[in-house]
Amino acid sequence: METEIIDEIIHLPIAERKEIVKKISKSIREDMGLKENRELTPEERHAAYLSLKGALAVPGKTPPTDEEIKEDYVNYLVEKYK
């Protein structure tokens, strides 16, 4: 039965096959409880930001200042083009 369905789908025009894939994909997302792709609200964006804030922080170290980053980059370029 499965093979027959696939054989029928393969012989359909591409537009119809794309529509079938779209519908199956949507069905799977719904069955898995996933939401449709949509724009996040400002509140959701802020919550995501707060959940990620500090994720790359290294305990006991402070991030470099803008000046330190610029200085390191200049030193890198000087070494590179000596």
The pLDDT, as a whole number, for residue 36 is: 63
| Residue spans per domain, the chain | 1-37
Residue 67 · residue 75 · CB < 8 Å? no
Average per-residue pLDDT in the chain? Answer: 87
Place of tokens 């200049």: 74
Mean pLDDT of 42-60: 85
Please report, rounded to a whole number, the percentage of residues in the chain having pLDDT higher than 90: 37
**In the prediction, which pLDDT does 63 show?**
86
C-alpha 8/C-alpha 2 separation (Å) is 10
Q: Is the pLDDT of residue 1 over 70?
A: no
Token pair, residue 49, equals 């930001």
- 39-47: long-range contacts (C-beta < 8 A, 24 or more apart)? none
